[in-house]
Amino acid sequence: RVTSRQSPAVRRPHDGRLHKNAGDWQLATGDQRMSPTPYSKDGAFFFPVRVYYEDTDAAGVVYYANYLKYAERARTEWLRSTGIEQDAMLREQGIGFVVAHAEVRYRRPARLDDLLWVETRLQELGKVRMSMRQIIRAGDAISAELTVEIASVNRDFAPVRLDGPLRETLARLLD
């Protein structure tokens, strides 16, 4: 029996089911349902997202607005992987990023417990704005394609030029 003082033992990736073992409960092992780690390849950043119950609608598919959330998480982690910490950039330099425009094309619905991969590529780098292409896949199937334009702003939301080390870092990432 699992009590508030006890937690299920996790020894390997699990399938989420609890099984009785030697008088205690433990999670069943065997399949690879834990989320893998993000990685970069060929100028793109790949970020894994597991679909949870809270992400789905009554039909059991991912609610359309959640694709925007998944893309935002991937962009944030992509920047972090390059050494750009958005909270520090805002605190120390007074510069932040905001979404100025987003287009989404929904292709195939993702479902509960799917492992999605969000691919992020920088396509254009302007003086104040940058454009990114993001593709969200469930296996080999494309669930959504996004084009997102990000603007660089100060604390008052006035446009700020992308200059210096920030621009150099982003320029190295151009597709």
Which residues carry out catalysis? 57
Cβ atoms of 70 and 120 within 8 Å: the answer is: no
Residue 118 tokens read as 């969000």
